[in-house]
Amino acid sequence: MQENTFSFDSSISPAKFVYSEVFNAAVPFIDRHITEGRGDKVAILCSNGEKVRYTELSERVNRCGSLLRAKGMKPGQRLLMVIKDAPEFFYLFWGSIKAGIIPVPLNTLLRSRD
């Protein structure tokens, strides 16, 4: 099986998923679109009209992942994310996954008592 791929058997319930030995979820969700020729397609469309294309998304995801590792985070560590809904959420979320870091997003609307 090729790296960063999975297969599933939907003829049984629940469906059985089989992942390649090397699997990083950022590859099929982000990088695949570039390798399949969709780099210039819009990946994120914001309510203010801002558009982020897959090539831009991939570059920013890689930059965030590299920054986290440069700051000393190691694969398997958790990253608590308190960030509003914006393209930066995706850069940080997928960047951490790509770097092997576990993202833990929090809802910015939670109060201290929650």
Backbone angles phi, psi at 88, to 5 degrees: -60, -30
pTM of the model: 0.84
Residue that the structure tokens 């099986």 belong to:
1
DSSP bridge partners of 18? 7
Instruction: State residue 94's pLDDT score.
Output: 97
Residue 90 · residue 57 · CB < 8 Å: yes
pLDDT of 114 reads 66
Answer whether CATH 3.40.50.980 is correct for domain 17-106.
yes
Query: What is the percentage of the chain residues whose pLDDT exceeds 90?
Result: 79
As a whole number of angstroms, the distance between CA 6 and CA 112 comes to 40
Residues 21-61: pLDDT tens digits? 988 999 999 999 999 999 999 999 999 999 999 999 999 99
Q: Domain segments of the chain: what residues?
A: 17-106
